[in-house]
Structure 1
Amino acid sequence: MGVGESYKLNIVFVSRYPPMHCGVAEYTRHLISAMHSIASWNKFAVLTSTVEGNKSWYDEVLDVKVIPAFSEQDRSYRKLLDELGYMDRTDILHVEHEYGIFGESLKLVEAVKTAREEKLVRKAVITMHTVTHPSSGDKRGVFQMHLNEFDAVVVHSILQEFELQCQGVDPRKIYRIPHGTLINPYLEFPRQVLAESLGIATESLKGAVIAIPGFLRPDKGIDILFSALSYLKGIDKTVLVAGEPRDQRIVELIEELREEHNIILMDRYLSSDEILRVIGLADILVLPYRDKPGTYSVSGILHLSMGGLKPIIGSRTPRLVELYQYVPRLTVPPGDCVELAKRIKWVINNYDYAVPYM
């Protein structure tokens, strides 16, 4: 039986989108894929950033048209409103908000209000990928004060939910929806197959494979992991660092310690599928993050790692709050390399217990 026209929704996302190298872009594509799998009769489009040009493209796999429609430089949304006007009907406008993309300017809120007033959209939703506490001292709190202009505000973390409540966002508009976890399709693949698919020589993998996937930035705590490794001498292991460098100093540190700790570096942007293969190859995932004070977000890498059903060791930071909630024994205080080394050693020596503990 077909679906009646009244049940078919036109859903337009405002977000970055692959092939842009961005976690929010990957998240948006995963979300559309999931929604398409349960409600394929709905129609999806993406109004994206002009950061990589003004030419539209088409995601044939998901049947999604992607239209560059806003500038990250001057925060202009006039073209976004024009594109909405060209569309037949937009039932839901869904903004995938990250301050690094949209900034803290109120121009986005004003554009959404205009779209509603001109009847270009029926409902406006925003997902806040990052929420800030007033103690952060920046202007982002001003933007968050205007979130009641949206029909719904989606967050991924319990910390984000109650922080927005405290800042005056109507609790009836806040929906906490978990980030989403994909069960890794490479769980049963042999190590050799996964290694070769990633361009890694199988013979270079010795002992437990400890992986830290994702963009190589200072906040990922890679230096903390390397400090912890100095307490793990004599333990057979391979450290797999996989992700696009965002700080050259991290690459230099890796090169300096590569031989001492048997470090394999994949210093390039990895697609979601490649990250899943890295996680499938790993025995242990280590996320020694350090968060900026007053900032609440949720790690996409954490959720991809959770789908690998492997032990995850991480720091007690807002980004990893779910790890702390569900497997507290595998978490450590931020920046504590000694405790991190102890957890890694415990997992290696008690692996058969650590796996079901997850």
Structure 2
Amino acid sequence: MPDPTPSQPGGRPVRVLQSVRLGGAHPSYADHVAAALDPQRLELLSFSYRTALVGRWDVLHVHWPENLIRHRSRPRQALRCVLFALLLLRIRVLRPGVVRTVHNVAPHERGHRVERALLAALDRRVTCHVRLNDETKVRRGAPVVTIPHGHYRAELGAAGDLPRDDGRTLLFFGFLRPYKGVDVLVEAFGQLADPAARLVVAGEPATPAMRALVEDAAAADPRVEPHLSFLPDEELSALVRAATVVVLPYREIHNSGVLFAALSLACPVLVPENAVTAALRAEVGADWVRGFTHPLTADDLSAALAAAADRDPAAVPELAGREWSAVADRYAAVFLGPATAGARA
């Protein structure tokens, strides 16, 4: 019998505790990575503070660490601060591998002073940073690898030759949060003179104010079409296929699963111009990633619609190397590598 794949002494898989819960109704980035990993080499555990503080694990994989602290209830948030501090103490004593995937340069909503101190302390314990593009800055001297964000062609379906848009439809989709600039988008669209243009805003609002913003825009302009709830993959795919351009008017953009969902279905995107989006345009082509400089204007929207109308309707963007199997292979190398070997030795 051949030797088991190197993992732990005796062939036990390396246990990787995720900072998120796996297997929810709506698959996350972490779920896509987990589904493609080899379970004989790596055992992924969903997060709970009980597991984090008294369970057996070898590597902590951190996504959006602020979510381990934040809670709507102030007493529960205070309790989470205490638990997070205890987790930091366990990391300091046991010195396990700590891998952090840097989805954002900083949390989209600024946290309180205690939260910022706890997150900084965690960052000092990271043994390897994973960034999704080469522009992400991490702590000086910290080990770092780049693993590109995966695409969603398998989940959403290949673009193929199915009927597409009418040439006049702009789409925003995703969780509606203030930093995403939906207010700027509806204002710019309201100044677009084209009576045939259409703006579809789809996704679950984060706050009642976000819901009211879109509903008020729809009441004032019949060209605005709201879909204010979570969309399953089938409905999302249909909306993207019917769109001419997906518009992401984010005040800041660094990584975005929404962007890759749009490209997976061969829909061009309009995004803020920065080093990250410029690099992506160089990778997939200018037909697919168009930049604008804040503030977003009606002219930006009109130009994006015109550019999309001129492209080859049978073309698809080049997304090679962004399959989740390739992403998972690179994560496996991180989890099994020397940077995370502390507690496994």
- Compute the TM-score of the two structures, normalised by the length of structure 2: 0.68
Shift of 1:145: 5.9
In the alignment, the residues of structure 2 paired with residue 321 and residue 113 of structure 1 have an alpha-carbon distance, to the nearest angstrom, of: 41
Give the 5 Å matches for 1:179-198: 179-183=149-153, 184-188=156-160, 190-191=162-163
Shift of 1:142: 6.8
Instruction: Note closer, same or farther for the CA distance 1:28–1:210 as it changes in structure 2 (3 Å cut).
Output: same
Q: Which residue of 2 aligns with 1:144?
A: 120
In the alignment, the residues of structure 2 paired with residue 79 and residue 335 of structure 1 have an alpha-carbon distance, to the nearest angstrom, of: 46
The total of aligned residue pairs comes to 294
Q: Which residue of 2 aligns with 1:160?
A: 136
Q: Which residue of 1 aligns with 2:189?
A: 229
In the alignment, the residues of structure 2 paired with residue 237 and residue 221 of structure 1 have an alpha-carbon distance, to the nearest angstrom, of: 20
Q: Provide, for residues 71-107 of structure 1, a one-character-per-residue CA deviation record: whole Å limited to 9, x for no partner.
A: xxxxxxx5522233xxxxx343312233244469696
Q: Which residue of 2 aligns with 1:315?
A: 272
Q: Could you tell me which amino acid in structure 2 is paired with residue 281 of structure 1?
A: A
Q: Which residue of 2 aligns with 1:269?
A: 230
Pick from 248, 265, 269 the counterpart of residue 287 of structure 1.
248
How high is the sequence identity, in percent, across the aligned residues? 20
Q: Which residue of 1 aligns with 2:324?
A: none
Specify every segment of 5 or more residues in structure 1 that has no aligned partner in the other structure, as ranges. Answer: 49-68, 71-77, 85-89, 193-204
8 Å CA contact 1:213–1:301 kept in 2: the answer is yes
In the alignment, the residues of structure 2 paired with residue 354 and residue 229 of structure 1 have an alpha-carbon distance, to the nearest angstrom, of: 28
Q: Which residue of 2 aligns with 1:248?
A: 208
Q: Which residue of 2 aligns with 1:238?
A: 198
Shift of 1:128: 2.8
The answer to whether the aligner puts 1:6 opposite 2:11 as a matched pair is: no
Q: Could you tell me which amino acid in structure 1 is paired with residue 175 of structure 2?
A: F
Give the 5 Å matches for 1:78-93: 80-84=52-56, 90-93=57-60
Instruction: Note closer, same or farther for the CA distance 1:239–1:79 as it changes in structure 2 (3 Å cut).
Output: same
8 Å CA contact 1:314–1:323 kept in 2: the answer is no
In the alignment, the residues of structure 1 paired with residue 54 and residue 255 of structure 2 have an alpha-carbon distance, to the nearest angstrom, of: 33
Q: Which residue of 1 aligns with 2:174?
A: 214
SS in 1 for 2:28: helix
8 Å CA contact 1:330–1:343 kept in 2: the answer is no
Q: Provide, for residues 27-75 of structure 1, a one-character-per-residue CA deviation record: whole Å limited to 9, x for no partner.
A: 111111232xxx2533433333xxxxxxxxxxxxxxxxxxxx23xxxxx
Root-mean-square deviation (CA), in Å? 3.9
Specify every segment of 5 or more residues in structure 2 that has no aligned partner in the other structure, as ranges. Answer: 8-12, 71-79, 319-345
Instruction: Note closer, same or farther for the CA distance 1:145–1:152 as it changes in structure 2 (3 Å cut).
Output: same
Structure with the higher strand share, 1 or 2: 1
Shift of 1:316: 2.6
The answer to whether the aligner puts 1:15 opposite 2:20 as a matched pair is: yes
Q: Could you tell me which amino acid in structure 2 is paired with residue 30 of structure 1?
A: H
Greater CA deviation, 104-113 or 260-269? 104-113
In the alignment, the residues of structure 2 paired with residue 280 and residue 223 of structure 1 have an alpha-carbon distance, to the nearest angstrom, of: 24
8 Å CA contact 1:93–1:124 kept in 2: the answer is yes
Shift of 1:244: 0.3
In the alignment, the residues of structure 2 paired with residue 175 and residue 14 of structure 1 have an alpha-carbon distance, to the nearest angstrom, of: 19
- Compute the TM-score of the two structures, normalised by the length of structure 1: 0.66
8 Å CA contact 2:201–2:224 kept in 1: the answer is yes
Shift of 1:332: 0.7
SS in 1 for 2:239: helix
